[in-house]
Amino acid sequence: MKTIAVLTSGGDAPGMNAAIRAVVRTGCENGARVLGIRRGYLGLMHGDMFEMNLRSVSDIIHRGGTMLYSARCPEFATEEGMQKAIEICKANEIEGIVVIGGDGSFRGARDLSMRGINCVGIPGTIDNDIGCCDYTIGYDTCLNTIMDMIDRIRDTSESHDRCTVVEVMGRRAGYLALNAGIAIGATSILIPELPFDIEKDIIERMRRTQKTGKEHFIIVVAEGVTEKLEAQGIHGVSSLAKYIEHNLGVESRATVLGHVQRGGSPSAKDRVVASQMGSRAAHLLLDGIGNRVVAMQKEQIFDFDIFEALNMTKSIDLNLYNIAMEISI
């Protein structure tokens, strides 16, 4: 009997549970022993795992977070940590591991694969920032959460003729900010991938919009632009709100949406994609194939060599940004 395992690693994302469910059910239905590893690579290094069956994953498809818990574990990235993990795999007869997480987690999966433990990665992160994939599990749910939250902010912003600066997640990527910005009609959108100038891209745009009769504004800022804001003398979104109020005389507020963005019941899209990806990953391992990353491109599920996947890049859709700038005025 084959033994495969599954873990979730890095920042959690809605839909991870649906992926775990698909891995476990696919494994069990095809005669494998399936182990659930708690808290990602941390749990792997310490042998924190349990045998799962068809019923272990009942009633989780609609839940946010991850029933296996997640962790960031710098020790695992060292040779010592890696050896500990390999010993545990040998002791538990683990032949393959499905790793659900972001590109950091995939680097760990690559390193384990290089040392003889078959790993298959599934992209799970709200940031949608994995080069080989058009889509990562959790992104759709997160985007809709942000949209819902900002719709609420807009109600009060409009009632008071205010400007609200909203910071959304995305340390290195602006997919959430750009798409949410379009979905809620933000006057300006700041993302890490594109240069910006506060005067030109915020103050002048707001002034122009004011002249057409608009009196309330939403500015969406990705978490990852903090350093670029600092370089322009702005220390965070509260400071940006004050700057806007001072320069335009529009009463302004700042909201950092924070971790509310990472929770909640996964959308239908996240549940379906997670189920497809979990199934593909488990079948690969059952066929003895490892060192792969499952990916979605143009709505189809593929799998790539991890090394190649980690070298792939994707870029922000400039056309989408230009559309936003043309119509959100």
Q: State the catalytic residues.
A: 127
**By CB under 6 A, how many residues form the interface with ligand F6P?**
10
Sign of CA dihedral 134, 269, 189, 260: negative
Residue 312 engages ligand ADP in binding (rule: CB under 6 A): no
* Whether the Cβ atoms of residue 201 and residue 188 lie closer than 8 Å to each other: yes
List the single partner that 127 binds among ligand F6P, ligand ADP, none, CB under 5 to 8 Å by kind: ligand F6P
Nearer to ligand ADP, 137 or 324 (CB): 137
Question: CB of 134 within 8 A of CB of 301?
Answer: no
Instruction: Check binding of 9 to ligand F6P (CB under 6 A).
Output: no
Q: Which is nearer to ligand F6P, 60 or 260 (CB)?
A: 260
User: Under rule CB under 6 A, which residues in 142-171 are in contact with ligand F6P?
Assistant: 169-171
169 binds, among ligand ADP, ligand F6P, none (CB under 5 to 8 A by kind): ligand F6P
- DSSP one-letter string for 103-133: HHHHHHHHHHHHTT-EEEEEEB-TT---TT-
Closest CA to 24 of 16, 32, 15: 32
From the list 9-17, 47-55, 290-298, 306-314, the region that binds ligand ADP by CB under 6 A is 9-17
Task: Report in angstroms how near the CB of residue 10 gets to ligand ADP at its nearest.
Answer: 2
Comparing every residue's Cβ against ligand ADP, the nearest one is 104
Rule CB under 6 A: say whether 125 interacts with ligand F6P.
yes
Supply the DSSP symbol for 181. Answer: H
Looking at the Cβ atoms of 46 and 214, the one nearer to ligand ADP is 46
Task: State how far the Cα of 200 lies from the Cα of 320, in Å rounded to an integer.
Answer: 19
Q: Which two tokens stand for residue 302?
A: 């593929």
Does 123 engage in binding with ligand ADP (CB under 6 A)? no
Q: Any contact of residue 11 with ligand F6P (CB under 6 A)?
A: yes
* Coil/strand/helix, residue 62: coil
Asked if 217 is part of the footprint of ligand ADP (rule: CB under 6 A), the reply reads no
Residues counted in the chain: 329
Q: Minimum Å distance from CB 67 to ligand ADP? A: 18
174 in contact with ligand F6P (CB under 6 A): no
The reply on whether position 77 binds ligand ADP by CB under 6 A is yes
- Greatest C-alpha distance within the chain: 72
10 scored as a contact of ligand ADP (CB under 6 A):
yes
DSSP character string of 190-239: E-TTS---IIIIIIIHHHHHHHTT---EEEEEEGGGHHHHHHTT--SHHH
Place of tokens 């057409």: 212
103 binds ligand ADP (CB under 6 A): yes
When binding is defined by CB under 6 A, the residue of 2, 3, 46, 104 that contacts ligand ADP is 104
CA distances from 173 to 15, 70, 190, 192 (A): 20, 21, 11, 6
Site size toward ligand ADP, by CB under 6 A? 18
Q: Any contact of residue 21 with ligand F6P (CB under 6 A)?
A: no
Tokens of 291: 């060192």
Interacting residue ranges for ligand F6P, rule: CB under 6 A: 11, 102, 125-127, 169-171, 223, 262
Interacting residue ranges for ligand ADP, rule: CB under 6 A: 9-11, 41, 72-74, 76-77, 101-105, 107-108, 111, 125
